[in-house]
């Protein structure tokens, strides 16, 4: 497998209210983007890193990550990933898509995603069981508790055969997909779950 990691870093971070896009928020005097990229640059299974950054910060991202290719992201997450896919080297056949907000993903999670792809999976997501109590919300307040048995939170990096991910992006209508695994699943591709962290 020839693997490229796509780092999605074009979000505005409006919910964070930090005054800068969340990928550029400092943690330990370094931007989240740098922390996240290091996980993939250092991983022996990943050859290339492509960053989709806010258009106005592409040069800044490129300076921070000289070993990565940086492209301007889109208005939506989906558009950002699509632009990064267009920038991949031709020989890349496997793609990891990772949200920079999850800057400290353990190498073991990347290992598990890559191992599942190497074993033949077309799409892989790391997941964690839901442990919090879940409630519905109504106009009048809280509704019933939701049974969390069988529920899982989906994380990144999500891994894909490049051809599967490109086809899903080409076939999606609108920008409603919240992640790439949902897009490929909607296209009829089975998504394999591995343990997250």
State pLDDT tens for residues 56-111: 999 999 999 999 999 999 988 899 999 999 999 999 999 999 999 999 999 999 99
pLDDT at 173 over 70: no
Cα 137 from Cα 144, distance rounded (Å): 8
Residue 50 near residue 88 (C-beta atoms within 8 A): yes
Q: What pLDDT is stored for residue 19 in this prediction?
A: 59
Helix/strand number for the chain, H first, E second: 6, 12
Which of residues 178 and 88 earns the better pLDDT score?
88
What pLDDT score was predicted for residue 176?
63
pLDDT value of position 18? 55
d(CA 179, CA 14): 19
CA atoms in the 13 A half-sphere facing the CB of 120: 0
> In whole angstroms, how far apart are CA 152 and each of 97, 127, 158, 192?
19, 6, 15, 13
Using DSSP's 3-state secondary structure scheme, residue 122 falls into coil
pTM given for the model: 0.91
Residues 175, 98, 130, 186, CA torsion sign: positive
pLDDT at 56: 92
> What H or E segment, with its residue span, contains residue 116?
helix 107-118
pLDDT at residue 22, as a whole number: 82
């Amino acid at each position: 497998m020839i693997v490229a990691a796509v780092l999605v870093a074009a979000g505005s971070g409006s919910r964070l209210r930090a005054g800068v896009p969340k990928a550029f928020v400092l943690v330990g005097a370094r931007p989240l983007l740098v922390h996240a990229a290091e996980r993939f640059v250092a991983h022996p299974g990943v050859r290339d890193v492509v960053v989709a950054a806010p258009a106005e910060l592409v040069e800044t991202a490129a300076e921070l990550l000289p070993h990565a290719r940086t492209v301007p992201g889109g208005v939506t997450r989906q558009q950002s990933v699509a632009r990064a896919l267009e920038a991949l080297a031709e020989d890349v056949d496997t793609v990891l898509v990772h949200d920079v907000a999850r800057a400290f993903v353990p190498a073991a999670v990347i290992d598990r995603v890559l191992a599942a792809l190497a074993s033949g999976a077309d799409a892989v997501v790391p997941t964690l069981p839901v442990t919090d109590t879940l409630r519905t919300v109504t106009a009048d307040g809280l509704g019933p508790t939701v049974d969390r048995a069988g529920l899982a939170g989906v994380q990144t990096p999500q891994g894909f055969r490049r051809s599967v991910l490109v086809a899903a992006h080409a076939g999606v209508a609108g920008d409603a997909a919240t992640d790439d695994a949902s897009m490929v699943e909607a296209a009829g591709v089975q998504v394999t779950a591995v343990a997250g962290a």
